[in-house]
Amino acid sequence: QKEVEQNSGPLSVPEGAIASLNCTYSDRGSQSFFWYRQYSGKSPELIMSIYSNGDKEDGRFTAQLNKASQYVSLLIRDSQPSDSATYLCAVTPEGGYQKVTFGTGTKLQVIP
């Protein structure tokens, strides 16, 4: 079982719709959770971080964390073609250390 699992996609949504990206992780003691966006040929950039159960909203983005289900998701409202990218879920373990384990990423395509 991979430590961080994501559906590779592609996930296609029409412009203006809500895109829902999902991620599960295996280490129950995981402490911090991140969503990175990676455009083709570019490096990852952090778009959301979440540390406690519930929802966290930032503009059009909402991260949701459910530690009991070991599940983290990212919602993108009013999806734009510029949101088309690969979204990487990343998790850090319990303890005072920043080692990050990434999923393989979900490719999102927003259709104009």
Instruction: Give residues in contact with another protein (CB under 8 A).
Output: 4, 8, 31-32, 42-46, 49, 51, 88, 90, 92-93, 95-105
Nearest to 6 by CA among 73, 105, 85, 92: 105
Query: 71 or 93: whose CB is closer to another protein?
Result: 93
CB of 16 to another protein, least distance (A): 28
Peptide bond into 10 cis (omega under 30): yes
Pick the closer one to another protein by CB: 16 or 59.
59
Q: Are 6 and 103 in contact (CB under 8 A)?
A: yes
Distance of closest approach, residue 67 Cβ to another protein, in angstroms: 14
- Smallest gap from Cβ 61 to another protein, in A, equals 15
Surface-to-core class of residue 7, CB atoms within 10 Å of its CB (0-12 exposed, 13-18 middle, 19+ buried): middle
CB of 57 to another protein, least distance (A): 18
Task: Pick between residue 19 and residue 33 the one whose CB is nearest to another protein.
Answer: 33
- Strand 32-38 and strand 45-50: pairing? antiparallel
CB atoms closer than 10 angstroms to residue 48: 20
CB-nearer residue toward another protein: 52 or 112:
52
